[in-house]
Structure 1
Amino acid sequence: MGSQTFKDLLVWQKAHKMVLEVYKVTSNYPKHELFVLISQIKRATISVPANIVEGFRRVGNQDSIRFYNISDASLEELKYHMFLSKYFFNDG
């Protein structure tokens, strides 16, 4: 039997855990980055599980796939933000 709710999806569980971890990490970033890099990181991070949830509830494969693709793109965006963070805050 398939998943009953989005919380049953392993991919959502991992994405949700990632959000919690990213929030912990960014709480140590310099405050002057709050409205720039931190904001972008949090937006991209939250987008990953949020689009998984939306894709899960959509009717029709194509519609679901579109939201899963958005989630994947947000994850790639987050990877760049974290790369940039490492460069700025950990001396490259």
Structure 2
Amino acid sequence: MKLLRPVHRLALKLPDYEKFDLASQLRRASKSIPANVAEGYGKRRSSKQFRAYLENALGSTDEVIIHLEIALVLEYVIQEESQELIAQYRVVGKMLSRLIEKSHW
């Protein structure tokens, strides 16, 4: 949840013509990560079901990373800002991957 605010602030810096495209996708993907983890935890009737939600969260993590990389390549954001967020989302991805591996109970 700590990463939501910086991602949303970064999305506000994108050009107006990206507000309904890249900015929207970035915001939605960033919110999808904790939502999928929470929903999966709430519906953990089976490890397979929980794992599916975690895999969706991992996919959203990858989506945030690629959108941040796109914003950087298109020079919408400065490298330091986007690289720090990318690094943090990679950590989230590794954490989710480990949780997926251990979700067999």
TM class, shorter-chain normalised? 0.7 to 0.9
Shift of 1:68: 0.4
Q: Partner residue of 1:11?
A: none
Shift of 1:91: 8.1
| TM score, norm. by length of structure 1 | 0.77
Where structure 1 has 5 or more consecutive residues not aligned to the other structure, the ranges are 1-15
Query: What is the alpha-carbon distance in structure 2 between the residues aligned to residue 78 and residue 23 of structure 1?
Result: 11
Q: Which among 48, 54, 65 is matched to residue 62 of structure 1?
A: 48
Where structure 2 has 5 or more consecutive residues not aligned to the other structure, the ranges are 80-105
Q: Partner residue of 2:59?
A: 73
Query: What is the alpha-carbon distance in structure 2 between the residues aligned to residue 51 and residue 90 of structure 1?
Result: 28
Question: Residues 51, 91 of structure 1: CA spacing in aligned structure 2 closer, same or farther, 3 A cutoff?
Answer: closer
Q: Which among 3, 7, 11 is matched to residue 26 of structure 1?
A: 11
The one-letter amino acid paired with 2:58 is: D
Aligned residues: 77
Counterpart of 1:68 in 2: which secondary structure? helix
Counterpart of 1:35 in 2: which secondary structure? coil
Shift of 1:79: 0.6
- 1:47-58 mapped onto 2 (5 Å cutoff): 47-58=32-43
Q: Which among 31, 39, 54 is matched to residue 46 of structure 1?
A: 31
Structure with more contact order per residue of length (Cα contacts < 8 Å, sep ≥ 6): 2
Shift of 1:90: 4.5
Identity %: 25
Shift of 1:24: 1.1
CA RMSD of aligned residues (A): 1.6
